Amino acid sequence: MSIVKRKAKVDYPCSLLLTILILNSMIGRYVTHPLTLRRIACMRRKVSFRLASTQLSVQQEESPKEKRRKRFIEQKGLPKAVDRGQFATTYRPFDGHSFQALSGLPPNLQNFTVLGIESSCDDTGAAVVRSDGTILGEALASQSHIHAPWGGVVPGLAKEAHEAEIDRIVQEALEAAGMTSAADVDAIGVTVGPGLEICLRVGATKARALAIEYQKPFVGVHHLEAHILMARLPYDSASKQLEFPFLALLVSGGHCQLLKCTGIGDMAVLGGTFDDSLGEAYDKTARLLGLPVGGGGGPVVERLAREGDPTTIPLSVPLQSRKDLDFSYSGLKSNVRRVAERLAKEQGVETPADLSHSIKANIAASFQHVAIQHVEQRLRRAMILLEEKENIRSLALVGGVAANQVLRTRIEGLCRKRSWDLWIPPPRLCTDQGTMSAWAAVERMRVQSTDDPTIPDVYARYPFAQKL
């Protein structure tokens, strides 16, 4: 009897399902095993470390733009203290041009006149100044009413306002000096930096066009040097002129610097600001308290501070752990904001701008007291340094914030204690105006330094060449 072997009938779907269940059970036991979990964790750490190392190496590799920037800084000798990661041209004023040679004027000329133009930010200014320091005529157009609704300077609006006013302001300054056109002046100077580039270009274009049209010597003025040199402007025939070398304290809306000044174009930065300038701190405090800042925050905070008590609100003086000559106001700004917001919460009002007038006056007074105390500390240290090493005992207090009467009074007291001579321009000449550009051009031409009017360059960043 033969046995017929029959193939077993296999249910393939059931077999596949059974296989999957068995494998899943085995994998589950393996994955949940303590040793396996440790291995997985170790692998994850290795992968994470490799990823982090890769990212770090990518971050550390310099981009072509960064390499070009560093080469530019090395070639130009740009001080690290003023490097903000942007391209800048270092201020080197002497180019070998002779004022007499370019102008055709006799070398023994004693008095010459200069038309100065200023448009670096939000003021359109022009003035005619004689080389003996006499201001023959000046004109100024403020843009405070334009920028007030925005709480600060809007570059595009500032440029449009400069373009609308530049011709009128220049002509008014010439007529105030008894002149009919730029043909009647001996030279032309204009601010070419630092400042808002689109605003600088308006004034520079106008000045260069006049210099080329009337064949006048042209001087591109450094805005900060012009502020400093205003301390050397003789305001009357009897006044004594500040002589080099001297220490300059420059405080403005965009800068806060201590400089050793040894000559025209020879300004060495001893200390600068890490972050915000004194003028900017005033502006931010004014906005915080809801004050009108159309004409700048400094004057309104100063007026409000007169009604307050600087001892009621304790604030910390910046950089107490550092013994250098640098400034910082970002921490003080944050401190003022925290205090103001805390007081607003305690008083049950929505914002610091809604606080009572007396509380806001106390905040303003405390801020101003500490802000100026920070300046005094840094200035005193610089004075001691120059007394001992350079035998310098002359100080120029310049810049827009130098118009602050409290600052002027406290610096005067410091100079009296240390037997220093103090030179401060009149308040109206501390802020931006055409006279500073004209006088700086006079000073440049006295050392036979002028510029080529056909070169259309302006410089948003324009640091001084030296750093001590």
pTM of the prediction? Answer: 0.78
Strands 187-193 and 135-142: unpaired
Give yes or no for residue 238 having a pLDDT over 80: no
Using the CB atoms, write b or e for 244-269: b if 16+ within 10 Å.
eebbbbbbbbbbbbbbbbeebbbbbb
Strands 266-271 and 218-222: unpaired
Is the pLDDT higher at 125 or at 3? 125
Strands 466-467 and 187-193: unpaired
Pair 289, 360: CB distance under 8 Å: yes
CA distances from 347 to 340, 343, 344 (A): 10, 6, 5
Give yes or no for residue 4 having a pLDDT over 60: no
C-alpha 439: how far from chain center: 22
Q: How much is the average pLDDT of 292-320?
A: 92
Strands (E), 6-122: 113-118
Pair 304, 358: CB distance under 8 Å: no
> Which CATH number among 3.30.420.40, 3.40.50.1220, 3.30.70.860, 3.60.21.10 corresponds to the domain 99-233+431-467?
3.30.420.40
Q: How confident is the model at residue 467 (pLDDT cuts 50, 70, 90)?
A: very low
Enumerate the domain spans of the chain. 99-233+431-467, 248-424
Average pLDDT of the chain, as a whole number = 83
Q: How confident is the model at residue 243 (pLDDT cuts 50, 70, 90)?
A: very high
CA distance 339 to 407: 23
Task: Please give the single-letter amino acid code of residue 293.
Answer: V
Q: Which of 48-52, 102-106, 278-282, 370-374 shows the lowest per-residue confidence on average (mean pLDDT)?
A: 48-52
How is residue 223 written in tokens?
A: 């805005």
Percent of the chain with pLDDT over 90: 62
Instruction: Find tokens 């400093």 and name the residue.
Output: 228
Strands 421-423 and 394-398: parallel
Q: How confident is the model at residue 295 (pLDDT cuts 50, 70, 90)?
A: confident
3-state helix vs strand vs coil in the chain, percent to 5: 50, 15, 35
Q: Single out the residue of 169, 196, 197 nearest to residue 182, CA to CA.
A: 169
Q: What is the DSSP letter of 125?
A: E
Is the pLDDT higher at 222 or at 240? 222
**Domains 99-233+431-467 and 248-424 belong to one CATH topology:** yes
> To which H or E segment does residue 141 belong?
strand 135-142
Mind giving me the DSSP string for 318-378? TTTT--SS-B--HHHHHHHHHHHHHHHHHHT-SSGGGS-HHHHHHHHHHHHHHHHHHHHHH
Give yes or no for residue 40 having a pLDDT over 90: no
Q: How confident is the model at residue 173 (pLDDT cuts 50, 70, 90)?
A: very high
In CATH terms, the fold of domain 248-424 is Nucleotidyltransferase; domain 5 (3.30.420)
Burial of 357 (0-12, 13-18, 19+ CB in 10 A): exposed
> To which H or E segment does residue 126 belong?
strand 123-130
Burial of 336 (0-12, 13-18, 19+ CB in 10 A): buried
Cis peptide before 426 (omega within 30 of 0): no
Q: How much is the average pLDDT of 53-82?
A: 49
Q: What is the CA radius of gyration of the chain?
A: 33
Which value, to the nearest 10 degrees, does the dihedral of the CA atoms of residues 276, 81, 370, 354 take? 10
Q: Which of 318-327, 374-383, 405-414 shows the lowest per-residue confidence on average (mean pLDDT)?
A: 318-327
Give yes or no for residue 418 having a pLDDT over 90: yes
How is residue 178 written in tokens?
A: 């008894």
Give yes or no for residue 256 having a pLDDT over 50: yes
Q: How much is the average pLDDT of 112-131?
A: 96
Give the CA diameter of the chain: 147
Give yes or no for residue 430 having a pLDDT over 60: yes
pLDDT in tens, 358-369: 999 999 999 999
**What three-state secondary structure class fits 57?**
helix
CA distance 445 to 441: 6
Strands (E), 354-463: 394-398, 421-423
**Cα angle at 323 between 321 and 325, to 5 degrees?**
125
